[in-house]
Amino acid sequence: MSAGSAAAVPGTDPAPHFVLVPMMVAGHAGLMLDMARTLSGRGTLVTFVMTPLNLPRLGRAPSDDALPIRFLPLRFPCAEEGLPEGCKSLDALPGLGLLRNFNDACAMLRGTLVALLRDREGDAPPPSCVVSDACHPWTGGVPRELGVPRFSFDGFCAFSSLCMRPGADREGGKMNLHKIFEGVDDDDTRPVHVPAFPIDVEILRARSPGNFTGPGMKEFGQEIMAESARADVLVVNSFAEMEPMFVDAYEAALGKKVWTIGPLFLAPTMPLAATAEDANAVRCVSWLESMKPRTVVFVSFGSRVRSSLPQLVEIEHGLEATKRPFIWVVKPRNLAEFERWLYEDGFESCIGEAGLVIRDWAPQKAILSHLATGAFFMNEKLVVDVLRVGVPVGVKGAAQWGVEAEGVLATRQDVERAVAAVMDCGEEGSARRARAAELGRKAREAVVHGGSSFRNVALLIQHVQQRTSTRNPWIEKKPSDRR
């Protein structure tokens, strides 16, 4: 079987059965739905595990693609863990103080999932492997009970994971392993060097990632690290040409394979246009059609961030001052308070058609793939220091996962300056855009036939077939064999 095809052939082993368990939040689940389409498009059977309420939020059901994807619904135990009815997604929580309850409710799904997979409803073959979100440590026990390998899916890039995630010693990434912030005050403005890293990287304590530092989250972070270390393979939504040295370094630190199979949303089986019958999707795409190419600033800080009103006010004034069209996805800490301020300030009526304010959810793939989009606020360290396709916003600190963001981390001047710099038409701005365009070209090439991620998907499927076959042993391959 070649690396360009993985479909089952008559007379050979049957196509492998991948069970995908995404995290119950739109951004994470959307990526894994893209993976489901990619795998099923290559001749495998895919079971996609999700609560019924969450699937429609992804835009469309996997069955809409006419691909062999099975949807396995699981009832989410809200009441059992003290969650309000309907809080079946991380971004639906009324407050981040309920994160531990949410994670405990997810863990309660383990027994039900194992039983359903063992029963094998209909003519479904037994699972060949379980691919689950790295942020779902409870899923680690599912493949162990079923006697199949677990592939941990990491939506982060290898660069970020090498900094933060566990190595073979299970002590965490380079930042944790070397305790680089030990004895450093939170407000210390001196940069701290990250040791034993492929390149020179420095980071401020105040701007370091705040994951797993909120109340009750330390233990959860330790569970994630322990299960990541126990996983058979790590699958990353990145591509080899973007960060080759970090993929190799992360693989060496883990002592196991790291498969780059992204960017998943660019895979040919995934339509880039918005397909949901959602008012926000229709509104966004229609508005983008009226804009000039590469002029729109897209501002979205993910599903977990709940900004305070003072911070939202600063972002609003900063965006208005740029005099550039924008789409701003807002996740306020207090929606009623924000809506009251927005009405009294008259911001939306003032900006008119120059900007869109989207509450809660936006069709990110459709926005990012549209010709009108010219800039996107995202992970600073990789984009600025490594890929050199962005500029720092200049935040004074980092919000923690599990703690509601208080006060102002980025001022209106920070926002205005950053947007002006990244959209600059001068020599520096042109150079950034040229590098971004080159990375975009390489990303698109990676997922089509013959590309590095395309080949890795085929090799990953072959590995699963060899692992589950009684006739073939698990064949180890060197990093160079998968690129």
Query: Is residue 166 classed as helix, strand or coil in its secondary structure?
Result: coil
Helix (H) or strand (E) segment spanning residue 202: strand 202-203
Two tokens, residue 251:
């693989």
Instruction: Return the CA Rg of the chain.
Output: 22
Q: Which of 133, 154, 232, 414 does the annotation list as catalytic?
A: 133
Two tokens, residue 375:
């800039």
- Map tokens 């094998």 to a residue: 120
Two tokens, residue 135:
């942020």
Q: Which of 17, 28, 136, 370 does the annotation list as catalytic?
A: 28
Backbone angles phi and psi of 109, in degrees to 5: -75, -15
- Rounded-to-integer distance, Cα 415 and Cα 391, Å: 11
Please confirm, yes or no, whether 13 is among the known catalytic residues: no
Q: Angle 96-209-28 (CA atoms, 0-180°, nearest 5)?
A: 60
Residue among 286, 265, 268, 306 at smallest CA distance from 58: 265
Please confirm, yes or no, whether 133 is among the known catalytic residues: yes
Residue among 94, 107, 103, 91 at smallest CA distance from 30: 91
CB 77 within 8 A of CB 108: yes
- Map tokens 């009103």 to a residue: 309
- Rounded-to-integer distance, Cα 170 and Cα 90, Å: 26
Residues in Cβ contact with 231 at an 8 Å cutoff, skipping those fewer than 6 apart:
140, 150, 151, 152, 256
Catalytic residues: 28, 133
